[in-house]
Each structure stands twice: as structure tokens, then as C-alpha cells.
Amino acid sequence: MNSTVCQSCAMPMENEKMMGKNSDGTRNEEYCVYCYEDGKFTASVSMNEMVEICVPHLVEDGMKENEARETMKDVLPKLKRWAMTSK
Ligand SMILES: [Zn+2]
């Protein structure tokens, strides 16, 4: 199986349970369950806010804080949710 990452927070979605849901109850393959529910984003945040939301999780996984922040700032603008707004 291809590893898919959430197009909002870059979290790897390893199985169907990690995927968000559309308003009709089907799985949304682009966004994770934390970002997307019932056909809409769970939180209306800016890209920079999303960076700050993600950093603590990466630090928990053993990354240094500044390293985690740089990584997110590099990765997020390439994702679908932010691609339009980050220009
Ligand atoms: Zn997500």
C-alpha cells in the first residue's frame, strides 16, 4: 500500500481508520481524521498555526523543536490544503 500523508498536517495515514470522513460517511483519502470530519476541516487554522500544532507531536517523536518547525514549514506549503494560500 502506498503511504499517504494528510494534505493538511502531513501525518502519515497508514490505514483507513486514519482518514477523515466526507459528509456522506465515506472516507476522505486526502485528509486525516484529526483534520477532517463530516466533510469539513475540524479547525480553521492558518498554516503557521498548523505548524505550531504539529511541532509538539514531532518533538514527542524525538525531533528537536527547531528542527521540527523547519520541517513543517518546508512540508506544509506543498500540501493541498495550503498550496493555494501560501503563495
Ligand atoms: Zn491531518
Q: Does pLDDT of 5 surpass 70? A: yes
Give, as residue ranges, everything with CB less than 5 Å from ion ligand 1. Answer: 6, 8-9, 32, 35
**How far away, in angstroms, is 44 Cα from ligand 1 center?**
12
Write out the H or E segment, with its range, that includes residue 47: helix 47-60
10-28 confidence digits (pLDDT tens) = 999 999 999 999 999 999 9
The answer to whether residue 86 scores a pLDDT higher than 50 is: no
**pTM exceeding the 0.75 threshold for the entire prediction:** yes
Q: Is the CB of residue 32 less than 8 Å from the CB of residue 13?
A: yes
The predicted-structure confidence for 46-74, as pLDDT tens digits, reads as follows 999 999 999 999 999 999 999 999 999 99
